[in-house]
Amino acid sequence: MSMHWKILIGIILGLVIGYLASLSDLGVSLVQDFIKPFGTIFIKILKLIAVPLVFVSLAKGIVELKDIKKLSALGGRTIAWYLLTTVFAVILGLFLVNVFKPGSGLDIEALQRLATDTIDLDSKKTKGAGPLDFFVRMVPDNVFSALSDNGQLLQVIFFTVLFSVCLLMIPSDDQKPVVRLIESLNKVMLKVVDVIIAFSPYAVFALMSTLIVEIKDPAIFSALLNYSMVLLFGMFILLCLYPIMARALTGMPIMKFAKGVLPAQLVALTTSSSMATLPMTMECAIDNLGVEDEVVSFVCPIGATVNMDATSLMQSIAAVFVCQVIGFDLSITDQLTIVVTATMASIGAAAVPSAGVIMLVMVLESIGFPSDKLPLALTMILAVDRPLDMCRTVVNISGDSFVCVVVENGISAKGERL
């Protein structure tokens, strides 16, 4: 059975069992004592692998850019466009979620039930912080301390980038052992993600049952619908922008781009994995969009690893959404942190189904989100994530194809291909 069907069944069973259990005190106790722990374990595992997954995946993505030595202009254009589209997606997500406020429709009493009396929601604020404090806090004074604290993702990212770039600067022979280690660790982490995702239907069942038992306010589910609509609207904007930008920058007809990527989009919709869709993405770029093979071979594999526009969009919208739900106010600094962490987390996200949810843990903890509300936050997101994840993959591979077209169009003044 396909994973999305398993997760859907888990959601439905969780709704049914949670509703039946909520009818009696005994049922509530049974869910909290014997079902809820499995959801808690799932959340702990997500938090467990988040930091090493970001470190290994981001390091691997940077190390693979050794090809820039031979294709410096091509590599530079590729990374520049990937970063540009990713940052734009994050900012678009923040704009939409702040305008539509999908998580702010709950009444005061519901917010009070969700918020804890023992956590000061303003305790994360840094009093007396200077204008450059954001950058000061980005640099760790102890890398092992940063790696052991899920709330220090920016410091982990800083160290990873510094380490990886310096690795590229040493002689090739000295690089090889470390590069092989990073590649092996990346394979191990991807396998760990596979195992975790395989367990997700059961975790979704446990989390959904607990959600129904502990939260009986229908406004929560209305907020989830609003969240889904805002995210889908953001992804629709990105899908419309890709062919329009391709037309503006390269002269490619809008319908040629739209029709050209359609086969890959259909595969992406069913696999929910950019990596699984990679062969079809490359084929469509070469055969349908007319991109040169050497460009596609360089741009698409990197894109499947580091270019996750819709995942970035989702993380920014989801992070602010769950904060709105529990009444957790975000400052400008917090939202700037979301821009950086969501961008880097999407680069470090594995190209497998629902990997963006794992990275969301890091984004939330980087802004000081109350840890006791993290299970509630991920439960809400997981409840509607599977169909949204299918759509996110469509946007992600469309973004890869767009960058292929733009980079391939880069011609030097002498008419030589960059």
H helices of 64-132, in order, are: 72-100, 108-114
**Residue 273: inside a domain:** yes
**Residue 76: inside a domain:** yes
**Residue 417: inside a domain:** no
pLDDT at 282: 86
Q: Is the dihedral of CA 342, 343, 348, 354 positive or negative?
A: positive
Q: Where are the beta strands (DSSP E) in 11-137?
A: none
**H or E stretch including 361?**
helix 355-366
The whole-angstrom separation of Cα 418 and Cα 408 is: 8
Average pLDDT over residues 276-292: 86
Average pLDDT over residues 256-265: 92
pLDDT at 34: 93
Q: pLDDT of 313-322, one tens digit each?
A: 998 999 999 8
Indicate the pLDDT class of residue 212, thresholds 50, 70 and 90.
Answer: confident
The rounded mean pLDDT for the chain is 79
With beta carbons less than 8 A apart as the criterion, state whether 57 and 305 touch: yes
CATH number of 215's domain:
1.10.3860
pLDDT at 153: 63
Nearest to 291 by CA among 165, 407, 174: 407
Q: In terms of pLDDT, which residue wins out, 266 or 151?
A: 266
**Residue 414: inside a domain:** no
Q: 292 in helix, strand or coil?
A: coil
Q: Following DSSP, what letter does each residue of 223-270 receive, concatenated?
A: HHHHHHHHHHHHHHHHHHHHHHHHHHHH---HHHHHHHHHHHHHHHHH
* Percent of the chain surpassing pLDDT 70: 79
The helix-helix angle for 293-306 and 274-287 (nearest 10°) equals: 160
Average pLDDT over residues 126-149: 68
Query: Number of structural domains, the chain?
Result: 1
Expressed as residue numbers, the domain containing 21 is: 3-408
Residue 281: partners with Cβ closer than 8 Å, 6 or more residues away = 261, 264, 268, 274, 300, 304, 397, 400, 401
pTM of the model: 0.71
Average pLDDT over residues 31-56: 82
Average pLDDT over residues 41-57: 76
pLDDT at 172: 84
Average pLDDT over residues 20-44: 88
**Residue 418: inside a domain:** no
Question: What values do phi and psi take at 347, rounded to 5?
Answer: -65, -40
Q: How far, CA to CA in Å, does 231 sit from each of 93, 95, 318?
A: 8, 11, 8
**Residue 364: inside a domain:** yes
**Residue 416: inside a domain:** no
Q: pLDDT of 318-372, one tens digit each?
A: 999 988 887 888 888 888 888 888 887 766 555 555 566 777 887 888 888 888 7
Q: pLDDT of 107-130, one tens digit each?
A: 545 545 544 433 333 334 444 445
Q: For residue 411, what is the DSSP state?
A: B
pLDDT at 384: 80
Q: Cβ atoms within 10 A of the Cβ of 10, count? A: 23
**Residue 357: inside a domain:** yes
pLDDT at 233: 96
With beta carbons less than 8 A apart as the criterion, state whether 398 and 300 touch: no
Q: Cβ atoms within 10 A of the Cβ of 118, count? A: 7
Is the per-residue pLDDT at 243 higher than 90?
Answer: yes
What's the alpha-carbon Rg for the chain, to the nearest Å?
22
Q: pLDDT of 159-180, one tens digit each?
A: 887 888 888 888 888 989 999 9
pLDDT at 123: 38
Is the per-residue pLDDT at 66 higher than 50?
Answer: yes
